[in-house]
Structure formats: C-alpha cells, structure tokens
Chain A
Amino acid sequence: MLIELDIFSGRPNPRWPLSPPAARKLAELHHALPPSAHEPPDLPGLGYRGFVYELDGNIWRAWSGYVIGSHQALTDYGKVVETLLLSHLPVGHAGLRSRIRAEV
C-alpha cells in the first residue's frame, strides 16, 4: 500500500510503501471508524493536508480527525489513522515529523 503525505506545494509530496503488517493495522483501524455526522472542514491551501491512501478501491485522506473519501467521511477524533501513519514516516522525511505532530 502506497502512502502520500500531502504537504508540499512546489516539490512532489513524500510517498512511500507501507509494510504489510502496518497496512493490515491501517485497514483494521480504518474499518472500525464510524461515519461522520458532520461535514469535514475545508482543507488548508498551504501546509499539512493529511495522509492519502487507497483502500477498498477508494482514495482516502486522513486529516484533522476525519478520514475523507470521495463519497463518505469517517470520524477519527482520536486521530488514530494519522498517528499510525505518522509513526511510519520514512527516515528520509523524519524532519517533517515534529511539524506534523504539532497538527495531529
């Protein structure tokens, strides 16, 4: 499973493959999330815009306590998906960790 950290404007965003155990954990957390009763807020233009991944044939964006798909949004108030993906940020992008942690 490929993860994209949506954060840059000019440079290409960081992308990396998630290990099979981490991908299984992500799927488990994702499938346990309830549908959101609220409309997610608009994404900011510049800066951290969440983690993007593909699961069950859909593209999802974990950001700001929501996991947002094209037709559905899930609630993740504990931000467990973002926290999991942040913990699997590759070493080469470790410098971004503290910046994202401040927003997660």
Chain B
Amino acid sequence: MKLETVDSLSSLDRAGARLLTWGVLLSALCIIAGLCVWLTAAGDWRAIALLNAGLMMLMATPILRLCVAVGQFAQARDWLFLLTTLAVLAVLVTTLILAAHEP
C-alpha cells in the first residue's frame, strides 16, 4: 500500500484541475471582451462590468478548489487532513469577515 499516500487523492484531482481550467478560461473570456470594449470606449460601464465579472470569477476559483480538496480527503477517508482543509477554509472566511468590517 505504498502508493496509497499519494495516489488515493487523485480521483477527484482531475475534477479540481477541470474547475481551475474552466475558472481561468471563463474569466479570461470576460477580460478579453472587457478590454476590447475598453480600448474602443475607455471608461464605458459595459467594459468595467465585463472586467469585474472576469476578476470576480478569478478570485472565486482557488476558494472553490479548496472545496474540491475537502472532497478529495473525504474520498481518501483522511479525516485529519479533511479537518485541516476545513480549518483553512474557516481561517479564510474569518480573514474576509474581519477585513470587511475594517474601517
């Protein structure tokens, strides 16, 4: 069972990679469209909306990847690292909440 340590996490790994690929691809399409509009009409609200949508998708992607990691550890029945990943998510949410309330 030497391979278990590394390979038991790989079945959902592809799903995680697909998520990252699509996240980047969709956000890139929005950004390209937004930049094209911007270069023809700088400051246009449609350009800003498209660019912001792309950037928001980009920011959400790594957080969603963490959720896939939770699934990977659940599938591997690795409860210690499942808890670790949940703790990472909890710290991340705490940071965001604290920062949002900063004056």
**Do A and B truly interact?**
no
